[in-house]
Amino acid sequence: MEFITGRHIPRRTFVRGMGATVALPFLDAMIPAGRVWSRIADDALPTRLVAIEMVHGAAGCNEWGATQNLWSPEAVGRDFDLAPTSLSSLEPFRDYLTIISNTDVRMAEAYQPYEIGGDHFRSSAVFLTQSHPKQTEGSDVYVGTSLDQLYAQRFGQDTPIPSMQLCIENINQSGGCAYGYTCVYTDSISWASPTEPLPVIRDPRVAFDQLFGAGGTVEERVLRRRTNKSILDWITGRIAQLRRELGPNDIQRLDRYLDNVREIERRIQRTEAQNTSGESRELPEAPAGVPDSFEEHTRLMFDLQVLAFSSDVTRVFSLKMGRDSSARVFHESGSDRPFHPASHHGAREEAILDFAKINRYHVSMLPYFLEKLQGIQEGDTHLLDKTMIIYGSPMGDPNLHNHRRAPLFVAGGANGRLEGGLHLNTPDGTPMANAMLSLAHALGMDDMDSFGDSTAELSLSMPASTLTSAGS
């Protein structure tokens, strides 16, 4: 398998054992003789995509909150100050940050009088589709195909898993919610077609087992857990054989990857042990694999995505980080108010600032993920350079349930298609769909003429000399 001889390991290589299928990370030995890292990596691995929805708007989308720059920085262009904003934790990654301000998500608004009041139950379905959901409590749902699925259908079909959908809070994709809408609209951000919402995974154990084929049958899963073995214990012999055929750099890269797999599995096992110990839980309804800690749960989900990207098991993730009507308290944020009541701040300045603490806390989860991606080398660069992370909300001011000035930013280099280090402030009335269309083009879907209610492509670059006030 020494690549210098012309023999190489196929990129799509798995190490299999009883109930375990572990894909390998990108290794030097996977490069055919005569080719170079940068060429093979670029040819083989399109941009990875992560779409993250944080529900129910932001404090900075309120009129007063916008004057305080609680979400978007004041300066437009490159010389912007993140300190007053909820994005301040992203300062170390500002060169990978594209902030897109002042876009509207009008497809989430009520179109008919009988739709009034249903903003909570439409919004999530609109975020990645930018299409207006059909009001129904039955199975005849209709909205649009989401951006992540358009990408997965084109660039994810040659991976073992075309896409994965994750969530942090409990959802229930059945029955009606309120105002004539089925719960599937508020529970789903990924739509394979206008009529096909995709299920989400909340339990890190379920996501781990899906990624690594851990336990092909119920009996194998029971046996593995009863013996307290890692999935790696079932493939030790095969890994030892593989190591003998790799060069030093590949051995180091493989060992680091397997250490990460084992560490994540241990964390899941510790969570399960704690949650089945009989001690009281903060989330008594959650599966045993779900940590009570929001931060630990989110980090586990991010770590799983990094592993999946490094082994090319999938290139597309969506992550729904909350529910509009969530009563969860995020004590670590500095606010002791439940999320949904805090979002209804009554336009009171003190309450707006309190909700901004929660927004800031949620965004502060991202640097962990970005750092992990930056730490995975692939060819001549790292995974952060090869990833696009979309973070936003389909709602603007949560107190009014409006969809104007909705929060949106993008992180990562997207294989050189995003300049980063940029704050764009769009003209009033600009659809968020314009930004999504431009992001689709940056992902390589250049033939898309429109998306949702888009009216034009939005330029994702700006001359460095351009500096004005964002004004909102």
pLDDT score for 325 = 87
Asked if the model's pLDDT at residue 3 lies above 90, the reply is: no
Q: Which of 412, 428, 361, 381 is nearest to 86 (CA)?
A: 361
Domain locations in the chain?
47-202+290-442
Alpha carbon separation from 362 to 26, 247, 297 (Å, rounded)? 32, 42, 13
CATH 3.40.50 fits 47-202+290-442, yes or no: no
Q: Which residue has the higher pLDDT, 461 or 227?
A: 461
Measured between alpha carbons, how far is 256 from 10 in angstroms, rounded to an integer?
Answer: 20
- Does residue 273 carry a pLDDT above 70? yes
Can you give the C-alpha Rg of the chain in angstroms?
A: 22
Q: What are phi and psi of 410, to 5 degrees?
A: -130, 140
Q: What is the pLDDT at residue 45?
A: 72
Convert 191-205 to b/e letters by CB count within 10 Å (16 or more is b): bbebeebbebbbbbb
Share of the chain above pLDDT 90, in %: 76
Question: With a threshold of 0.85, does the pTM exceed it?
Answer: yes
pLDDT digits (tens, 9 = 90+) for 190-245: 999 999 999 999 999 999 999 987 655 666 666 666 666 788 887 888 888 888 88
